[in-house]
Amino acid sequence: MKRIFKNLTFQVLTAIAVGVLVGLFWPEVGKQMKPVGDTFINAVKMVIAPIIFLTIVLGIAKMGDMKKVGKVGGKAFIYFEIVTTLALVIGLIVVNVLKPGAGLDFNKLEKGDVSQYTSEEGGKIDWIEFVTHIVPSNMVDAFAKGDILQVLFFSILFGVGLTALGDKGKIIIEFFDKLLNVFFKIVGYIMKAAPLGAFGAMAFTIGNYGLESLVPLGKLMIAVYTTMFFFVFVVLNVICKMYGFSLWKYLKFIKDELLIVLGTSSSESVLPRMMNKMEKFGCSKSVVGLVIPTGYSFNLDGTSIYLSMAVVFLAQVFGIDLSLTQQLTIIAVLMLTSKGAAAVTGGGFIVLASTLTAMQVIPVEGLALLLGVDRFMSEARAIVNLIGNGIATIVVSKSENEFDEGKSEEAIQDMYENRKIAV
């Protein structure tokens, strides 16, 4: 029985359930729990930048061959583009079939304030600024802000430079190796507070927004969740079978990370753990270091599904019949804008605002409808993004013969044995 109470899965599930109850019955108390969830996520973000830096640098330095680094990066980007485009297409098909926005009257629905997203500065993405932003003007500032793209860029340059030193760089590699172990120890300490973070985030969400806010837009939520379920268990499952591994075993292996994301609505909250888990699952450190951080910016399957469905949903609410050409244009625009969201504060709403502005067909103020339910769908987006990034890492590892089957089987076996002990 003691082992059950010490089990992270049990602790997080219990914390989420308690958070929901507090938000439902004591909403004012739930609203005040926001700092608890935020503090946990901040603690994780504190170590994300150095872990990404050390993992990428060590991965490149130990790989040694710059051609191989380029090959791995190229495969990852091709995979990201194919799968996220597929997610966009599936989202469009489902929203056209289910028509969740049909019959809703925009003027009779509760709306939120989206002025920060629809203003002249907030409603568009400056692509020149986005590209130049990737290169940090100050290395320390990039780490201080935790900007993943900038840290990624600097880490690759540092890894290449360290590799060029040859034997002279071995002492630095050994030091970084030990330093990385220290940071993973810190992550282990932080994760002991994961149930508390999940409780705080869930209590705030339910207390602040209330379950009643879901009713008017319930059809959209059901459509989005159904589509994401289909994408994971059909599309990603097919990819898993193509590359010879079990989706179900993989999901069981990362169940703790999935529950933490469910509670916190943030896939960043488990980024360090996910990198460690993928290595234990059999992926090489170099592939994990390149694919996972890059995927957090460019392989957002869940976000792609939500964005494509949200645009057509708003068109249905306003009674706008989008032609096939217009819907193909949506895919083309979202393929660009969804990538730009990585470095823009405001995330999905900035992307939606810029997409609607580019199309000039659907009123941008329609975004106000989505504020009430967006928080409840962010969990699904984050979970699908997390699952997709892990699968991308395994696929790239296998395609590069950088996947240890024996290590994978051992990790799965250990997982089952630990579960039996806990029960």
Domain assignment present for 54? yes
What percent of the chain clears pLDDT 70, i.e. is strictly above it?
84
Q: Which of 305-314, 345-354, 410-419 has the highest mean pLDDT?
A: 305-314
Domain assignment present for 362? yes
The tokens describing 118, both together, are 């629809």
pLDDT tens across 150-193, in order? 888 888 889 888 888 888 888 998 899 899 889 888 988 888 88
Domain assignment present for 238? yes
CA distance 341 to 149: 11
Minimum mean pLDDT among 42-56, 102-116, 356-370, 408-422: which range? Answer: 102-116
Residue 392: is its pLDDT beyond 80?
A: yes
Q: Which of 60-69, 178-187, 200-209 has the highest mean pLDDT?
A: 178-187
Residue 376: is its pLDDT beyond 70?
A: yes
The tokens describing 314, both together, are 């708003």
Domain assignment present for 3? no
| pTM of the model as a whole | 0.82
Strand partners, 283: 403
Closest CA to 334 of 357, 351, 353: 351
Phi then psi dihedrals of residue 177, to 5 deg: -60, -45
Closest CA to 393 of 319, 300, 282: 282
The tokens describing 80, both together, are 């990201």
Other C-beta atoms closer than 10 Å to the C-beta of 208 total 16
Minimum mean pLDDT among 106-115, 134-143, 363-372, 380-389: which range? Answer: 106-115
Domain assignment present for 1? no
Q: Which amino acid is at 230?
A: F
Q: Do 25 and 183 meet the contact criterion of CB atoms below 8 Å apart? A: no
Q: What is the CATH number of the domain that holds 295?
A: 1.10.3860
Domain assignment present for 2? no
Domain assignment present for 200? yes
Pick the more confident residue, 224 or 145: 224
- For the segment 361-385, the average pLDDT, to the nearest whole number, is 79
Q: Over the chain, what is the mean pLDDT?
A: 81
Strand partners, 7: none
CA distance 111 to 113: 7
pLDDT tens across 6-19, in order? 677 788 888 888 98
- Length of the chain, please? 423
Pick the more confident residue, 377 or 196: 196
Strand partners, 373: none
Domain assignment present for 14? yes
Q: Which domain holds residue 304?
A: 8-422
**Domain total for the chain?**
1
**Band of pLDDT at residue 342, cut at 50, 70 and 90:** very low
Q: How far is CA 12 from CA 4, 19, 262, 274, 377, in A?
A: 12, 10, 9, 17, 19
Pick the more confident residue, 354 or 256: 256
pLDDT tens across 234-254, in order? 999 999 999 999 999 999 999
CA distance 177 to 170: 10
